[in-house]
Structure 1
Amino acid sequence: MSRTTPYYAVIFTSTLTDNDNGYSEMAEQMENLASKQPGFLGFESARGEVGISVSYWKTLKAIADWKAQADHQFAQEKGITDWYEWYKIRICRVEREYDFFRGTSSNT
């Protein structure tokens, strides 16, 4: 999915504790809730030993508003108390994007 640049990416990298009860359900709820927030552009995620989730936003204000959203704050606290052994958040401005899909490519 191509987006108009520039936009912002929030990269959330984490490792989980042994207590991940309810984590998947909360992650799904947060993805659904984020998708309804003004300025939300998309989401990608992969989980192995280390999880990497990337959400895409139109503006830094949209990111700040999402961070301050009440249900998201509850999930953040639950993550700190129960689910995460470690996490790091990076916020990046995306200046350019391109992709490959067998048979086609897109350079923006």
Structure 2
Amino acid sequence: MTQRLVPEVGQVVTVFRSRLRPDADGYADHADQMDALASAMPGYLEHKSFTAEDGERVTVVTFADRAAHDAWGSHPEHRVAQRAGVEAYYEEYSISVGSVERASAWVRGD
């Protein structure tokens, strides 16, 4: 069975929307490195990425709290990746960050 994240008040969720440049060489390897680094951060809960038919990519990242989220945002290796994104990988991107104010979950069979 797939592990399920149960949302909780106080978690911090980032929605990262982007479009890659056609010449984004090296992006996949850099993204894999950032996935591994983020997953090892204290307070990291999960992230999932999706690509739409029109090429837009969406990544949803969840941290346990604001401090954990901010530690990831300012991590030196993540900052290098952010600069590489602007310089070499992304045609465009947007970031939305929010704190969970209300949370619930339901699963058939529970």
Please give the range of the TM-score, normalised by the shorter of the 2 chains.
0.7 to 0.9
Aligned partner of 1:24 in structure 2 is 28
The alpha-carbon deviation at position 99 of structure 1 amounts to: 5.4
Aligned partner of 1:47 in structure 2 is 51
The answer as to whether partners of 2:7 and 2:104 remain within 8 angstroms in 1 is no
Structure 2 counterpart of 1:11, from 4, 8, 15: 15
Q: Which has the higher strand share?
A: 1
- Is residue 2:73 matched to residue 1:67? yes
Deviation >2 Å, runs of 4+: 97-100
The answer as to whether partners of 2:21 and 2:91 remain within 8 angstroms in 1 is yes
TM-score normalized by the length of structure 2? 0.84
Identity %: 26
Aligned partner of 2:103 in structure 1 is 96
Q: CA RMSD in A?
A: 1.6
Letter aligned with residue 80 of structure 1:
V
The answer as to whether partners of 1:98 and 1:105 remain within 8 angstroms in 2 is no
Number of positions where the alignment pairs a residue of Structure 1 with one of Structure 2: 103
Q: Which runs of 5 or more structure 1 residues have no equivalent in the other structure?
A: none
Structure 2 distance, partners of 1:3, 1:38, is: 18
Aligned in 2, Cα 1:4/1:12: closer, same or farther, shift over 3 Å? closer
Range with greater deviation from structure 2 (59-68 or 1-10): 1-10
